[in-house]
Amino acid sequence: MKGKDLLSICDLSAERARDLFTAAIQMKRAGLSSSLKGKSLALLFEKPSLRTRVSFDVAMHQLGGHCLYLSPAEIGLGTRESIPDVGRTLSRYVDVLAARTFAHATVEALAEHCSVPVINALSDHEHPCQALADLLTMYEHKARLEGLDLAYIGDGNNVANSLLLACMLLGVNFRAASPPAYAVPDDIRERGKAISRGARITIVDRPEEAVEGADVVYTDVWTSMGQEDEAEKRRAAFRSYQVTPALLSKAARDVIFMHPLPAHRGEEVEETVVDSSCSVVFDQAENRLHIQKAILLKALGQS
């Protein structure tokens, strides 16, 4: 990380991201270690989680450290107590914090007021740990990153934002097809262009155009956590953006299908695609564990 925190993919250089992949691959082979003996991680979550919560907890356990989970009801972040005071207090007890928030400003405020490193475990704007696990998974399946073509179909959301930035950082071309009102925001595209060393961003209207010859086809839910009231409107807007076997047939012959999970089977992706032989969704989920070990070791100065 450039500073103490990992709030955005932009907090990493390409070299640092590659170092994280190397460390993650090493730890995937090695398994247990005692590098973080005596260290504690707090998970401060405003939203539900399966993968992020469990992979961080198991990562700390496998590195010899300790993890505690703080649910929204217990802490009352910004209601029972101000965000700065929660950050200052937690910094006296734990060595690192991973926060899952609605507003991105909340994770930024925690980072500002914590003396210990803060990791973004998903905000409304970014999901950097997911994007790092995704690029690691792509590397494992394709044996390279530079020059790959990724097609992102669907909502220009937190997952898409971090994925676009990670692709630009590591040389993967990013082609997105979204309904115009739900495209990846301009500020992310601008930041992506600024960090790209040759990888291209292409925005198209039709999923078929994005998928043509792609090495990777990626999608995420149409309705993210916190947007439940918009679900019906979104289902209508995204109806023609479902990833189906017919759409995948336009991609490269050895295409891989990716999704951060949880999947809304039958909405953004047809049931059979998730379970097909080109789907690597559970490799992505597993790699959350390995990349987060690498992130924790780097945040705590152990690598």
**Given the rule CB under 6 A, which residues bind ligand CP?**
49-52, 122, 130, 260-262
Structure token digits, residue 198: 């040759």
122 neighbors 100 (Cβ within 8 angstroms): yes
In 3D space, the residue among 106, 148, 137, 99 whose CA is nearest the CA of residue 120 turns out to be 99
Interaction residues for ligand NVA, span 254-283 (CB under 6 A): 260
Which one of ligand CP, ligand NVA, none is in contact with 224 (Cβ closer than 5 to 8 A by kind)?
ligand NVA
The DSSP 8-state label assigned to residue 115 in this structure reads: S
The DSSP 8-state label assigned to residue 185 in this structure reads: P
Which one of ligand CP, ligand NVA, none is in contact with 113 (Cβ closer than 5 to 8 A by kind)?
none
90 neighbors 82 (Cβ within 8 angstroms): no
**In this complex, which beta carbon is closest to ligand CP, that of residue 288 or of residue 298?**
288
**In this complex, which beta carbon is closest to ligand CP, that of residue 119 or of residue 199?**
119
Residue 159 in contact with ligand NVA, rule: CB under 6 A? yes
Q: In which region does residue 220 sit, left (phi positive, over 0), alpha (psi from -120 to 50) or beta (all else)?
A: beta
Instruction: With residue 151 as reference, give the H or E element that holds it.
Output: strand 149-153
With CB atoms as reference, the residue minimizing the distance to ligand CP is: 52
- Distance of closest approach, residue 159 Cβ to ligand CP, in angstroms: 8
Choose the binding region for ligand NVA from 110-118, 152-160, 194-202, 210-218 (rule: CB under 6 A).
152-160
Residue 98 and residue 103: Cα distance in Å, rounded?
15
- Distance of closest approach, residue 221 Cβ to ligand NVA, in angstroms: 5
Residues that bind ligand NVA (CB under 6 A): 122, 157-159, 220-221, 224-225, 260
